[in-house]
């Protein structure tokens, strides 16, 4: 009797294990692929809309900043990181709630906007919801990190990364990791979960502003031909 119970329990465990494997493949494979493809398509549509609305002229040396107050969930940009693939591009929505991150990379409300002095901070899922930042750990110092808006391309260069606890929110302070300090530089911070298939920590990449390329000047060399 006991042997039969042990055999039955073993069979149940094997079945449960197989179901978990199938769920993992479905959630992070098929669902991840389809959600990622939808994000790619949305990024492409935004770029086309930006191009259609591009300013005719741009004053040399100016760094435009979005003037309108963004609404929660509003799409206002596209993030491009060539290191993650020549065609890698994700739409950016305002906010980092689950509703936004399900379909986009999100902008932390209250942080700087692209081109502003301070810390323009963004978050995205590493696994799930299209796995947009599954390879965030591939980003190397010096890599281009680009924010595209209707005005043009805000070019940043990665400085390095850190792994922190989820409660360590100082990474998105105006001066990263130095709350209370007055910013004098234009930072970009990108946050995601760590490890790749978990969420016990956060993987953080910091970048510094390099230059602004107005839309009238054409696509910057770092991403040219990547679409």
DSSP string, 105-152: EEE-TTSPPTTSSEEEEEE--SSSTT-TTTTGGG--TT-EEEEE-SSE
DSSP annotation of 28 reads I
Which residue did the predictor score with more confidence, 207 or 9? 207
The span from the CA of 80 to the CA of 67, in Å, is 22
The span from the CA of 204 to the CA of 47, in Å, is 26
Give the model confidence (pLDDT) of 168-180 as tens digits.
999 999 999 999 9
Rounded to two decimals, the pTM is 0.84
Query: Cβ distance 119 to 112 under 8 Å?
Result: yes
Q: Which domains does the chain carry?
A: 35-217 (2.40.260.10)
CA geometry: angle 158, 148, 32, nearest 5 deg? 80
Question: What is the CB neighbour count within 10 angstroms for residue 74?
Answer: 14
pLDDT computed for residue 131 by the predictor: 94
């Amino acid at each position: 009797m006991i042997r039969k119970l042990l055999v039955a329990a073993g069979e149940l465990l094997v079945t449960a294990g197989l179901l978990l494997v199938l769920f993992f493949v479905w959630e992070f494979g098929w669902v991840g692929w389809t959600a990622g493809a939808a994000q790619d398509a949305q990024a492409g549509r935004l770029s086309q809309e930006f191009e259609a609305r591009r300013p005719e002229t741009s004053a040399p040396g100016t760094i435009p900043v979005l003037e309108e107050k963004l609404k929660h969930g509003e799409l206002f940009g596209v993030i491009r990181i060539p290191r993650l693939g020549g065609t890698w591009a994700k739409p950016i929505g305002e906010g980092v709630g689950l509703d936004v991150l399900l379909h986009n990379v999100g902008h932390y409300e209250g942080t700087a906007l692209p081109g502003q002095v301070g810390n323009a901070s963004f978050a995205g899922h590493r696994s799930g919801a299209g796995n947009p930042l599954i390879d965030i750990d591939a980003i190397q110092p010096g890599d281009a990190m680009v924010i595209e808006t209707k005005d043009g391309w805000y070019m940043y260069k990665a400085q390095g990364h850190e792994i922190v606890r989820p409660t360590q929110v100082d990474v998105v302070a105006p001066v990263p990791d130095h709350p209370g300090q007055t910013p004098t530089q234009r930072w970009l911070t990108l946050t995601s979960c760590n490890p790749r298939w978990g969420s016990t920590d956060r993987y953080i990449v910091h970048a510094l502003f390099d230059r602004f390329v107005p839309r009238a000047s054409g696509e910057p060399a770092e991403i040219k031909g990547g679409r």
